Homo-oligomer: A and B are copies of this chain.
Amino acid sequence: MIEQPDLTRNQTLVLDKLSRTDLPMSAYTLLDELRGDGLKAPLQVYRALDKLVAQGRVHRLESISAFVACQHPDCQSHAATVFMICEKCGKVSEQADAGVATALALVAHAEGFAVEKSSIELRGACGKC
């Protein structure tokens, strides 16, 4: 288990905002929506996001430069998380999958590559769209 420290005010604001939607948000959108709570500068948001991502409570979607709250209770325990990003409705589904993790581990091992982080993002249309 990884320790989950208490969150600071800014971290709480950012995580709450992200948790109340199933859509990814950019750092600047977060900032705009949190101006009413006193946030004024990008760094306030980015610093909070850095911590939240490090703790695994938020994920960064590299392919769209946006952030989503983790949808899993115990995300830290998963090796490979697959994000499916719908191009139509924008919603994101997060799935941990052992088969994907195993297949990726095999590819990495064959190259002698030591994986530290992985980013697996599928773009397309979700079941509803």
Q: How many copies does the complex hold?
A: 2
A95-B111, A111-B93 known; A116 and B106 CB under 8 Å? no
Chain A residues 45 to 71 lying within 8 A of chain B, measured CB to CB, are 62-63
Q: Give the interface size class of chain A.
A: 35 or more
Chain A residues 79 to 96 lying within 8 A of chain B, measured CB to CB, are 82, 84, 86-87, 93, 95
Say whether B116 contacts A123, CB under 8 Å.
Answer: yes
Q: Which residues of B contact A62 (CB under 8 A)?
A: 62-63, 119, 121
Say whether B121 contacts A118, CB under 8 Å.
Answer: yes
The chain A residues found within 8 Å of chain B, CB to CB, are: 62-63, 82, 84, 86-87, 93, 95, 97, 99-100, 102-104, 106-108, 110-127
